[in-house]
Structure 1
């Protein structure tokens, strides 16, 4: 860095993540090749606090950390995201693939890393089962197919029908036309 240059928040995120990663890799003897590990930040991410991409041609794992998550989480929570993504990097480097299965769960538990990172933004939609004896609920951040056409899908628990709620307005619908009507009625508030 030359005189007059200032560190950005993205520089801070990557620096803190790298320092934490070095400590974790040394303390837990996680065999991640640091020379085959790259770091990036994302301003676009709205729900995933982190991700790990694998480039099999270069054999490089890239950990991407969301700036919004860094700004909203306390450090211990964000450090958990870093550990979570390090487990993915380890799996990619060692096995060429990664997921959230038994191998991941075992290694994540050893590192005190969460199996799934909590969302750092409020969901835009809430899906709820309409059956009185079922309390199934799911959230979505985007207008996915189950949000747009709930009548074509079923409850994830009991198989019953469900409704979708636009979280900010409270409007609900159970059909594709209900989705369209709600979207039209809300206009700019959608």
Structure 2
């Protein structure tokens, strides 16, 4: 508690992330890695809604401000070593936005992320809601989804990502599966509140 206010998990996430960012930028030889992030042009937020991304970095070109958004669920799931790597990953995005007005996961990003021991991708911290599985006997293709995207709600219109065959979608929590839009509607209706 500070000044009569109770600190939240989000306050803790942001405080630790800001401290870690300053430590990282002070520790690494910025001339060698050319990662001069302007912390005054960097904002921090948390997300309680994100289910797949441990972090994100948004760029407001009008204000020339990068905003790093860190996910509460990832913070609660990962240990600090793994979560601090997410912070470093997003710092590289912030640097790219500040320097070039754009950011991605290309060679420039990969080089800087490797120098900071930041992963290119983060481990999933939630179970997927849907699993897509090829129906062809000799194909082992599977994919996961967290949201009811078109390939989930209308699998008959899409094909396996590997062999081009048909696939089924499974609602992972219930085990119900379907291969068409009407099958999706039927499964959703049958599960009702358990959906």
Which interval holds the TM-score relative to the shorter structure? over 0.9
2:172 is aligned, of 167, 171, 175, to: 167
Matched, 1:45 2:50: yes
**Given the two structures, how large is their TM-score scaled by the length of structure 1?**
0.94
Equivalent residue, structure 2, for 1:36: 41
Equivalent residue, structure 1, for 2:77: 72
My pick for the range that moved more, 9-18 or 22-31, is: 22-31
Distance 1:2 1:36 in 2: 26
RMSD after superposition:
1.4
My pick for the range that moved more, 34-43 or 126-135, is: 126-135
SS at match of 1:44: coil
Distance 1:157 1:83 in 2: 34
1:89 is aligned, of 77, 82, 94, to: 94
Deviation at 1:132, TM superposition (A): 2.1
Distance 1:63 1:93 in 2: 12
SS at match of 1:165: strand
Q: Closer, same or farther in 2 for the Cα pair 1:75/1:2, shift >3 Å? A: closer
Deviation at 1:152, TM superposition (A): 0.9
Deviation at 1:105, TM superposition (A): 1.6
Q: Closer, same or farther in 2 for the Cα pair 1:103/1:157, shift >3 Å? A: farther
Equivalent residue, structure 1, for 2:16: 16
SS at match of 1:138: strand
**Given the two structures, how large is their TM-score scaled by the length of structure 2?**
0.92
Q: Closer, same or farther in 2 for the Cα pair 1:125/1:91, shift >3 Å? A: same
- Could you tell me which runs of 5 or more consecutive residues in structure 1 were left unpaired when the two chains were aligned: none
- Could you tell me which runs of 5 or more consecutive residues in structure 2 were left unpaired when the two chains were aligned: none
- In the TM superposition, structure 1's runs of 4+ consecutive aligned residues that sit over 4 Å from their partners are none
